[in-house]
Structure 1
Amino acid sequence: MDTSWLRSSFEELKACSGASREALLETLSPTRCAGCERPGVLLCDDCLNKLVLIDPEESCALCGAPYGRVLCTECRGVASSLDRCLACALFSGALPRVIRAYKDGGERRLARVIAELLLDTALHAQAAAPDRYGGILADADFITFVPATKSAYRRRGFDHMEAIARSLGSMAGVAVCDCIIKHGSSDQRKMGREGRLATARSIYEVPDIVQKNVYGARLLLIDDVITTGATMTAAAAVLKGAGAAHVDGLAAARVL
């Protein structure tokens, strides 16, 4: 196979900078919607408008599940270290494809798209349900995030939630604190709630060097997907154990 064109393009790409580099990258690998492959945009309006948004006035404030305000069938009122929990939309339609394209498909530009979803979700909740979610972002001293495992970091080459947190912090004008270390490399995606809870309790730690930032602080803890709430609960528990005064959770998607 003749790959001389590819070598030539790669050399040309290395020689470019700024707008020229972006233009060449667009020529080699055109931008497409992560949800439907429509060319020209990372997430098209059609896919965005089809997201099943979660109403902050009706959701469960403990685990973020929709329609759980009165009686949540997801967490059933189980105690959580989170003070409040909020999610943008159901893990359905285009959203799973967007998250996979970002985490494992190499489309790192989606960090800003997901951060914008989180920002819009928090701002809307503060305005629409101030009695439930007032100040969830505006009153946060720091934004922090559920970190990737070392093995996931090596595989992907970056911490996907840190990139989203940095983008969200920049847009919202809130400082970001890398507060949590995640030990181990277990994949919890196939576990149930009890298995996730048992595994999650032992894998998070707040290092001594950042405890001064955590102590007495109001924190907004972000993640991409809430499945059972075990991850968020465990991460919030170590933050509370390090002296955090208040920990809210915010995610892009909620699995039912």
Structure 2
Amino acid sequence: MSRQVLATLLEQARDAALEILSPTRCAGCERPGALVCERCLHELRLIDPSLSCIRCGAPFGSLVCTECTPLQEGAAPPIARAPERVLAMAEFAEPLARMIRAYKDAGERRLAPLFSEMLLDTAEHAEAVAPERYGGILSDADAVSFVPATASAFRRRGFDHMELPAHHLCELAGKPLLDALAKHGASDQRALGREGRRREALGAYEVVADVAGMRVLLIDDVVTTGATVAAAADALIGAGARHVDALSLARVVGGS
């Protein structure tokens, strides 16, 4: 028996033992049996790409978006002009919110391939049903990049939460992965309000790869105000990228 076969058998035995001791539970509802159950998949609040805001990904923002357009004096200014388009799969609500937290904060890395499949399906669906709005968002991209975590978040979690989904997405879509961005600063933006997120995002990203002339698809897990993907995309464009779109799992609606 080769060492590789033996290692595979030992890994399978370990996984089987762990499954007996601690059975897999749904990341969305804690029911035993599957990593994500069918019920939770059906409960996702999917965003219609033919009706969403092409600028920030919010649902039903195709005409006048209340998320990224100021409606009254003193309201927050619109997000930066980059990226060109933002596409989000679903609203940031349960059970998706719990799934994302289980991945990022509880270290359930088995969700990474599923998230990649969700991102791929979202992009392909948008290209098919709304080609005039999202045509080529994935198929025409020269490379896929991702919004990186801060150094402190990396140390706390032990991994960069968007690198794994980006890697799997590139394998599925046949696109090269471009680890193009480094993030400065250490704050957790989940504790910040709308204006705090905008200020924190300014100048937070450094481009560390050659992106000149490229069409880049930038992925992130959650778009709250759009400030993060806008700042990351602006950095890419400033470094010579020809076009940047953004794709996310979730869009916060009505967030502060």
- CA distance in 1 between counterparts of 2:30 and 2:123 reads 28
Number of equivalenced pairs: 239
2:47 aligned to which of 46, 54, 74: 54
Q: 1:24 aligns with which of 1, 12, 17?
A: 17
Secondary structure, counterpart of 2:189 in structure 1: coil
The residue number in structure 1 matching 2:185 is 184
Instruction: Measure, in 2, the Cα distance between the counterparts of 1:44 and 1:76.
Output: 37
Of the candidates 231, 243, 249, which is equivalent to residue 246 of structure 1? 243
- Equivalent-residue separation in structure 2 for 1:236 and 1:147 (angstroms): 12
Corresponding position of 2:140: 139
Identity %: 60
1:38 aligns with 2:39: no
Q: What amino acid does structure 2 have at the position aligned with 1:18?
A: E
Q: 1:192, CA displacement in angstroms?
A: 2.6
The alpha-carbon deviation at position 198 of structure 1 amounts to: 1.5
Aligned residue type for 2:66: T
- For 2:179, the aligned partner's letter is D
Out of 220, 224, 229, the residue aligned to residue 221 of structure 2 is 224
Q: Which of the residues 32, 49, 72 maps onto 2:65? A: 72
Partner of 1:203: 204
Structure 1 vs Structure 2 CA RMSD:
1.5
TM superposition shift of 1:249: 0.3
Alignment map for 1:103-118 (pairs within 5 Å): 103-118=104-119
Listed as ranges, the gaps of 5+ residues in structure 1 are: 1-13
Structure 1 residue matching 2:138: 3-state secondary structure:
coil
* Residue in 2 that maps onto 1:129: 130
Give 3-state SS (helix, strand or coil) of 1:54's partner: coil
Using the TM superposition, give the Cα deviation of residue 143 of structure 1 relative to its aligned residue in structure 2, in angstroms. Answer: 0.6
Higher mean alpha-carbon deviation, 70-79 vs 149-158, is at 70-79
2:94 aligned with 1:97, yes or no?
no
User: Which SS does the other structure have where 2:45 is aligned?
Assistant: coil
Greater CA deviation, 193-202 or 162-171? Answer: 193-202
Matched, 1:173 2:174: yes
The AA in structure 2 aligned to 1:146 is V
CA distance in 1, matches of 2:219, 2:133: 18
Per the TM alignment, residue 224 of structure 1 is displaced from its structure 2 partner at its CA by 0.4
Partner of 1:153: 154
Cα offset, 1:15, TM superposition: 11
| Deviation at residue 16 of structure 1 after TM alignment | 6.2
Distance in 1, Cα, partners of 2:152 & 2:193: 22
Shift of 1:26: 1.5
- SS of residue matched to 1:248: strand
Gapped runs of 5+ residues in structure 2?
1-6, 71-77
Paired with 2:10 and 2:213, the residues of 1 have a C-alpha distance of 44
Aligned to 2:191, what secondary structure does the other structure show?
A: coil
Structure 2 vs 1, CA of residues 16 and 63 (structure 1 numbering), >3 Å: closer, same or farther? same
Which one-letter code corresponds to 1:192 in the other structure? G
One-letter identity of the residue aligned with 1:23: A
Question: 2: distance between equivalents of 1:234 and 1:185?
Answer: 16
